[in-house]
């Protein structure tokens, strides 16, 4: 029997794509880079590649923060201090608490039946404030951020820590997230039931429970 939902935050409950685009604008402006779709998509691609390396433990979190900006700027023949650039970016990013369509409604309904825990690979200062300004905090029982735990999804240790802390068995929990490599792989590594939140409907061949709209998520959970 499911008693708790272990939910990813970015692009599962909050719109990280929108948040990222908003936070990128002052950086582009500072370096005279045109804020067009191609340049924004290029940053997203670079950024994601470094987070994937972190998931594989190939680099540190601090390297993610600095190296992504150095690679991004080098594409335009520019140089900059990664930490300084990141401060500009984070100051905007942490204000971007944009709930996805149906997120508040889902949390209201789900919190009456389940304990809800956030499991995020994001940065604590950013995620804490985004959760606060988004209005979703009242529906959450606890927040687990990998930076605080010094463990990163999909590492089984991250999920084992959460399970031990909430004092529940694996079969009593359900992982819900948008990332195949961190959320779903982590759930598989830890033998925890899961649902892929496939917001952009990109993984139609996924061999497992999948949902594309938060409006439908409760039905998917109930039918497991």
Angle between helices 214-222 and 103-110 (to 10 degrees): 30
Q: Give the active site residues.
A: 8, 10
> Rounded CA gap, 57 and 158, in Å?
13
Counts for the chain of helices (H) and strands (E), in that order: 10, 6
Closest CA relative to residue 195, chosen from 162, 218, 163, 167: 218
Peptide bond into 79 cis (omega under 30): no
- The pair phi, psi for residue 106, each rounded to 5°, is -65, -45
């Amino acid at each position: 029997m499911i008693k708790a939902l272990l939910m990813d935050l970015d692009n599962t409950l909050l719109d990280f794509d929108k948040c990222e685009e908003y936070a990128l604008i002052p950086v582009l402006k500072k370096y005279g880079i045109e804020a067009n779709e191609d340049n924004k998509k290029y940053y997203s691609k670079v950024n994601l590649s470094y987070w994937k390396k972190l998931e594989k433990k190939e680099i540190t979190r601090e390297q993610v923060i600095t190296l992504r900006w150095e690679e991004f700027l080098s594409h335009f023949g520019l140089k900059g201090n990664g930490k300084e650039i990141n401060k500009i970016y984070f100051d905007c990013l942490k204000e971007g608490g944009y709930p996805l369509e149906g997120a508040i409604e889902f949390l209201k309904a789900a919190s009456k039946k389940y304990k809800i825990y956030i499991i995020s690979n994001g940065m604590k200062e950013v995620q804490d404030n985004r959760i606060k300004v988004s209005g979703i905090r009242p529906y959450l029982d606890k927040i687990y951020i990998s930076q605080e735990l010094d463990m990163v999804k999909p590492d089984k240790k991250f999920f084992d820590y959460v399970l031990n802390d909430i004092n529940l068995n694996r079969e009593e929990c359900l992982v819900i997230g948008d990332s195949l490599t961190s959320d779903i792989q982590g759930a598989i590594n830890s033998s925890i039931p899961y649902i892929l939140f496939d917001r952009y409907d990109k993984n139609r061949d996924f061999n497992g429970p999948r949902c594309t709209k938060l409006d439908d998520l409760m039905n998917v959970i109930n039918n497991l």
